[in-house]
Amino acid sequence: MDIDLADLEFWRRPLKERHEAFARLRELDRPVFFTEKRVPLLRSGKGFYALVRHADVVEASRNPKVFSSEPAASSPEPPGWVKHVFGESMVNMDDPRHARLRRIVSRAFSPKMLSNLQGDIDRACARIVDDVVAAGPGGDFVTQVAARLPIHVICDMMGVPDELRERVHRHVDVSTAYTGVRPSLGRTVQMAASNMLALLALQRMVIDLGRQRAKEPRGDLVSALVTANVDGEKLTDRELGSFFALLLVAGNETARNTMAHGIKLLTDNPEQRRLLCEDFEGRIGGAIEEMVRYVSPIMQFRRTVTEDYDLRGLHLKPGDKVVLFYGSANRDETVFPDPDRFDITRDAKGHVGFGGPGPHFCLGANLARQEIRTMFRELFTRLPGIQTVGEPELLLSNFDNSVRSQKFTF
């Protein structure tokens, strides 16, 4: 078979070829094992089974007792020393530790909190479109629109002062670049070092802010996370730093990638755009779900098997690694007929673009939906002629389906 998901060269292939490769893997009677190469200091090279069917991804997601997020959910798996430098992220934890942190931080995404945020999101979208109009046509949709809104919203939620936000943006860009495919060991080490410094800077920034808020609480999320609630639960400095880094990187990329890919999809599919604009409020919900399905902003996560388990004819043993390929599951023909067709009228609610069902389903999914809905409403109301120009520049990555640049006009 000429498919090797562990080979960085696979991720250089055109998107159409990669989708065809995953379709071939879905036809096989059991998951395929791929051997990773070891990179000194950076990854283990143990290899993994690829879960590419929708049913397999859902089964693993719903069974965290067998398919563990520990020691790491990222792929390739980082070495053990990384968690000692940065602390542990929620995505790399199982219950009860994961449940405790999720219980604390979930207050940021309650219906009441999201409702309170709507006015801020409305004003942020209006300011962004004001700036687009002032700059005139011919700009970059990513830097002028898609990348600005999520970071602005997250910084507003957390109470990050205005003078620190440009620094936050730079650190996030460095962290995102590291999720891409690196051409050489030297470049990998260089980018790893930059990524570590960026993440440490983000963590230190919010830890300092948290210590200020612990003494003088305000109405922001940092104050809530570092001040004990009625159950006596709050985040430690290290937990706050890890959560902020996760929120900025994961929360930012989901909304950013969906908006950047979405405007291109609506340009390339004018009949879908016409349907959306004919009844924006009635159809935008379904359009967002179809965008997330079609795009799969985060393409995969890893799990470690904890006990003997049979999955579709494959016997898994403790210590085996599996990778959940969300992008493939979202194009499973048995769940989504004609999956390569972008159709905003499709019932796409079963997609796994926010992660599979279970304890690790994306906490910020509704916030991302809210941001995307509001931004597209503002864009199509004020710039009805907006469209992309040419092809996007994509991040070369096996994890993050990120658009680096997309020219547009209006």
More confident residue, 272 or 171: 272
What SS3 state is found at 2?
coil
Do 93 and 160 belong together in one domain?
Answer: yes
Q: How much of the chain, in percent, has pLDDT values that exceed 90?
A: 61
- Cβ partners under 8 Å of residue 146, min gap 6: 255, 256, 257, 259, 260, 263, 403
Closest residue by Cα to residue 125 from 408, 387, 378: 378
pLDDT at position 362: 92
**AA letter at 372:** I
Rounded distance, CA 393 to CA 306, Å? 39
pLDDT at position 194: 64
- Cβ partners under 8 Å of residue 391, min gap 6: none
67 domain-assigned: no
11 domain-assigned: yes
Beta carbons of 390 and 273 less than 8 angstroms apart: no
286 domain-assigned: yes
Do 220 and 153 belong together in one domain?
Answer: yes
pLDDT at position 272: 98
What SS3 state is found at 334?
coil
Do 156 and 279 belong together in one domain?
Answer: yes
Rounded distance, CA 214 to CA 209, Å? 9
- pLDDT tops 80 at residue 184: no
389 domain-assigned: no
**Greatest mean pLDDT range, 135-139, 156-160, 181-185:** 135-139
- pLDDT tops 80 at residue 163: yes
Do 55 and 157 belong together in one domain?
Answer: no
pLDDT at position 87: 56
Task: Indicate the DSSP class of residue 177.
Answer: H
Do 247 and 341 belong together in one domain?
Answer: no
Residue 252: pLDDT band with limits 50, 70, 90: confident
- pLDDT tops 80 at residue 174: no
253 domain-assigned: yes
Do 342 and 364 belong together in one domain?
Answer: no
pLDDT tens track for 260-312:
999 999 999 999 999 999 999 999 999 999 999 999 999 999 999 999 999 99
Q: Provide the domain count of the chain.
A: 2
pLDDT tens track for 375-388:
999 999 999 999 99
Q: In terms of residue numbers, what domain contains 16?
A: 1-61+313-352
Token pair belonging to 198: 């960026």
273 domain-assigned: yes
pLDDT at position 170: 75
Do 366 and 348 belong together in one domain?
Answer: no
Do 317 and 365 belong together in one domain?
Answer: no
**AA letter at 228:** A
128 domain-assigned: yes
Do 186 and 234 belong together in one domain?
Answer: yes
Bridge partners for 63 per DSSP: none
End-to-end CA distance of the chain: give it in Å, rounded.
45
Closest residue by Cα to residue 245 from 193, 176, 317: 176
Residue 44: pLDDT band with limits 50, 70, 90: low
Residue 79: pLDDT band with limits 50, 70, 90: low
Do 177 and 91 belong together in one domain?
Answer: yes
pLDDT tens track for 204-231:
888 999 999 989 998 888 888 888 665 6
**AA letter at 94:** D
Do 272 and 343 belong together in one domain?
Answer: no
More confident residue, 357 or 195: 357
More confident residue, 40 or 211: 211
Cis peptide bond upstream of 76, omega within 30: yes
Closest residue by Cα to residue 205 from 147, 150, 245: 245
**Mean per-residue pLDDT of the chain:** 88
Do 48 and 179 belong together in one domain?
Answer: no
CATH label of the domain that carries residue 177 = 1.10.630.10
294 domain-assigned: yes
Nearest-Å Rg of the Cα atoms of the chain is: 21
